[in-house]
Amino acid sequence: MEKITQTAGRDQLGGFAPDFAHYNDDVLFGENWNNQDIDVKTRCMITVVALMSSGITDSSLTYHLENAKAHGITRAEIAAIVTHVGFYVGWPKAWAVFRLAKDVWKEAELTEKDKYQNTILFPIGAPNDGFAQYFSGQSYLAPVSKEQVGIFNVTFEPGCRNNWHVHHADKGGGQILICVGGRGYYQEWGKEAVEMNPGDCINIPAGVKHWHGAAPDSWFSHLAIEVPGENGSNEWLEPVDEKQYGGLK
């Protein structure tokens, strides 16, 4: 078990109350917290319950809630602990602890989609239901601009990719992809797949058969910029071969 160390006593009270600092850092958080008769996760639970029972809901409880989370207590577990103890020590105390616990476990309440959204500038948008039949996995679509040049942020969940397809045009046309988040791939027919990371740009001429999508283990977002052309259309083809895609890292 990793040894627990504490310096708050000496840092804040070393010059004013050295004995108290010693008891705090060396005895309470030194000998006591490192005693292995009780595992650290259980000790964290007991400490939170003791502080809650005493009506202490200041920064010291926040510290111990953060410590509890760091040692494996989940959002569901802390909610059950506080609810259970609330019946014995008072409902107002439970409310007070929950106000702190919600902030400490805030990240745990977010979905993987929410967490990914916080890493990119452009919105993920709504489920891409209109083109779902041409995708393997879940994708999302967020229009950025529909004037002059069409620009859309397309987001792929891990493992999601679109079918092989071709952008046709009598003149001009095609598409430009700019990766804005996560990690994905672009591949032209007959060529090796190209990894895409934020900032990477792919120019796709009209008439080129290709696909693009997320890496198996990562979300992926790119801006899809429609290049103006005459008599433009999209031709959707077969899905990407599962074995071929599974060989990508």
Helix axes 91-104, 75-89, angle to 10 degrees: 160
- In angstroms, the CA 177 to CA 154 distance is 10
Largest alpha-carbon pair distance within the chain? 85
Sign for the CA dihedral angle at 167, 173, 174, 178 comes to negative
Does 196 score more than 80 pLDDT?
Answer: yes
- In angstroms, the CA 33 to CA 35 distance is 6
The pLDDT of 73-89, averaged and rounded, is 95
- In angstroms, the CA 194 to CA 184 distance is 8
8, 46, 71 from 42: Cα distances, Å: 22, 6, 9
Report if pTM > 0.85.
no
Does 1 score more than 70 pLDDT?
Answer: no
Averaged pLDDT of the chain: 94
Q: Which CATH superfamily is domain 38-109 in?
A: AhpD-like (1.20.1290.10)
Task: Quote the tokens at residue 226.
Answer: 């429609």
Amino acid 108: pLDDT: 67
Task: Quote the tokens at residue 213.
Answer: 């999508």
Amino acid 123: pLDDT: 95
The pLDDT of 7-14, averaged and rounded, is 90
pLDDT in tens, 151-183: 999 999 999 999 999 999 999 999 999 999 999
Domain residue ranges in the chain: 38-109, 117-246
Does 107 score more than 80 pLDDT?
Answer: no
Higher pLDDT, 194 or 35: 194
Question: What residue type is assigned to position 133 of the chain?
Answer: Q
Q: Are 218 and 155 in contact (CB under 8 A)?
A: no
Find the helix or strand (DSSP H, E) in which 82 lies.
helix 75-89
Which single residue is written with the structure tokens 């433009």? 232
- In angstroms, the CA 34 to CA 26 distance is 10
- In angstroms, the CA 153 to CA 111 distance is 20
- In angstroms, the CA 192 to CA 186 distance is 9
Task: Quote the tokens at residue 244.
Answer: 């071929």
- Per the DSSP assignment, residues forming a β-bridge with 210 are 165, 188
Of 30, 75, 79, the C-alpha closest to 52 is 79
Q: Which CATH superfamily is domain 117-246 in?
A: Jelly Rolls (2.60.120.10)
Does 127 score more than 90 pLDDT?
Answer: yes
Give the angle 30-34-37 at the CA atoms, nearest 5°.
140
- In angstroms, the CA 229 to CA 172 distance is 4
